[in-house]
């Protein structure tokens, strides 16, 4: 395979870069293989219950809506669990920087699949924060009063006793997690298709916050740098 050559690069650089390109091509192939494995999953479990959420509906009025009513005629649905429960003074910084990027993506994604951000806070709080953050394309659901978040692992309350012991979770202490779930219509019912279980998978040594990297442009760009991610972590404001 013929390779590129940038001005004034050394033979040592080109040899190392060619080896890296082979690894990048292998990663690209593996990414496609993983996506194919995901698409080939057998049917997941039927929806535990048809959860009742609150959202902003027509004419900017608050309304109740069932999960089964969120599909908008499409076959699939994506729900992202935002770490912004009522006990938090501020939302999770990591979630927020991710949603900064997904707000623009949502404009395009919504042409194919409905995408909602779910949190346990009251809807008025979520909508107010979205307005302050200037997110015109993200749509929010309040899970206040239902068990969606714990049932589908947007909160550690749903984790088994064995996993709690294995991960060292303190008894009686729970917190939100940035879980993303995909649901699929199946006849007259709804099935769970896929969940971002890497959020709960053990991390490799020296790694942190890798579970949703496939969706995160910030970490993707910083990984291109010679210094890598370094000690940087996003903030709610840089003023």
Q: Per residue of the chain (239 residues), give pLDDT as tens.
A: 889 999 999 999 999 999 999 999 999 999 999 999 999 999 999 999 999 999 998 778 899 999 999 999 999 999 999 999 999 999 999 999 999 999 999 999 999 999 999 999 999 999 999 999 999 999 999 999 999 999 999 999 999 999 998 888 888 889 999 999 999 999 889 999 999 999 998 888 878 778 899 999 999 999 999 999 988 999 999 97
Give the C-alpha separation, 91 to 48, whole Å: 27
Neighbours of 77 (CB within 10 A): 21
What is the residue-wise DSSP string for 166-197?
Answer: HHTPPTT---B---EEEEEEETTEEEEEEE-G
**pLDDT for residue 57:** 87
Give the C-alpha separation, 34 to 5, whole Å: 32
What does pTM read for this prediction?
0.94
Task: Say if residues 212 and 180 touch (Cβ distance below 8 Å).
Answer: yes
Give the C-alpha separation, 49 to 67, whole Å: 9
**pLDDT for residue 176:** 94
pLDDT tens digits, 106-123: 999 999 999 999 999 999
Half-sphere exposure of 233 (CA within 13 A, CB side): 8
Residue whose C-alpha is closest to residue 118's, from 157, 79, 151, 152: 79
Topology of the domain covering 52-199: Glutaredoxin (3.40.30)
Residue spans per domain, the chain: 52-199
Give the C-alpha separation, 57 to 93, whole Å: 27
């Amino acid at each position: 395979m013929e390779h590129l050559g940038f001005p004034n690069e050394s033979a040592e650089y080109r040899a190392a870069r060619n080896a890296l390109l082979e690894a990048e091509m292998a990663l690209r192939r593996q990414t496609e293989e993983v996506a194919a494995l995901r698409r080939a999953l057998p049917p997941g479990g039927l929806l535990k219950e048809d959860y009742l959420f609150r959202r902003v509906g027509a004419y900017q009025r608050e309304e109740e809506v069932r999960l089964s009513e969120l599909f908008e005629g499409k076959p699939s649905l994506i729900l992202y669990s935002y770490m912004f429960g009522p006990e938090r003074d501020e939302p999770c910084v990591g979630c927020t920087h991710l949603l900064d990027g997904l707000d623009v993506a949502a404009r395009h994604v919504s042409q194919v699949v409905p995408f909602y951000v779910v949190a346990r806070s009251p809807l008025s709080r979520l909508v107010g924060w979205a307005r302050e953050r200037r997110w015109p394309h993200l749509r929010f659901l309040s899970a206040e009063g239902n068990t969606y978040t714990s049932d589908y692992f947007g909160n550690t309350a749903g984790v088994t006793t064995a996993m709690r012991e294995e991960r060292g979770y303190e008894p009686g202490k729970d917190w939100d997690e940035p879980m993303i779930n995909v649901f699929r219509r199946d006849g007259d019912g709804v099935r769970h298709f896929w969940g971002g279980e890497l959020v709960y998978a053990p991390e490799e040594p020296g790694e942190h916050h890798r579970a949703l990297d496939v969706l995160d442009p910030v970490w993707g760009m910083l990984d291109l740098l010679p210094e890598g991610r370094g000690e940087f972590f996003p903030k709610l404001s840089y003023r």
